[in-house]
Amino acid sequence: MDRPNPYYVPSKRRPKMTSEAELAAWMLAERTIEDPETGCLYWTGAAVNVGNVYGMVQGTNGVPDYCHRIIGRAYLGLQPDEVIDHVVSRGCSGLGLCINPEHLEPTTQAENIRRGQRWGKVAA
């Protein structure tokens, strides 16, 4: 099985959670490792490589979802038509595995692509 997450650690048992806020808090507290240099909080669970590597987790509705989108909805008011930018100017490494809310910002697809070109990285 493909395991694209270099920070992966075997899963602890996940408590039953009904709200996305609860899930997001658990993800940050129990399933991340902090990079002491950048403050990035890297997801330590399952991940997918779709050009950039992103954490995936089963949502409270049972459907797998991107970790950064769950964090975005729970902490940053992410709307369905918005994407999440990993903001390098706030210290983020830009890796898609980071789910530190302080490094993430909801934005439009067009703005994210524009920023990606400015940073010289692939937009995600």
How many helices (H) and strands (E) the chain has is answered by: 3, 7
**Cα–Cα distance for residue pair 77/88, rounded to 1 Å:** 20
Using CB under 5 A, which of 46, 103, 105, 112 touches Zn ion?
103
E strands of the chain, at which residues?
A: 32-34, 41-43, 47-49, 53-58, 64-66, 83-86, 104-107
Shorter beta-carbon distance to Zn ion: residue 52 or 60: 52
Residue type, 44: T
Applying CB under 5 A, the site for Zn ion has a residue count of 5
Q: Decide: 92 and 38 in contact? Cβ < 8 Å.
A: yes
Minimum distance from CB of 86 to Zn ion (Å)?
A: 6
Q: Which of residues 14-73 bind Zn ion (CB under 5 A)?
A: 40
Tokens of 70: 């769950």
The site map against Zn ion for 62-101 (x = CB under 5 A) is ------------------------------x-----x-x-
Minimum distance from CB of 96 to Zn ion (Å)?
A: 10
Minimum distance from CB of 76 to Zn ion (Å)?
A: 13
Applying CB under 5 A, the residues found at the interface with Zn ion are 40, 92, 98, 100, 103
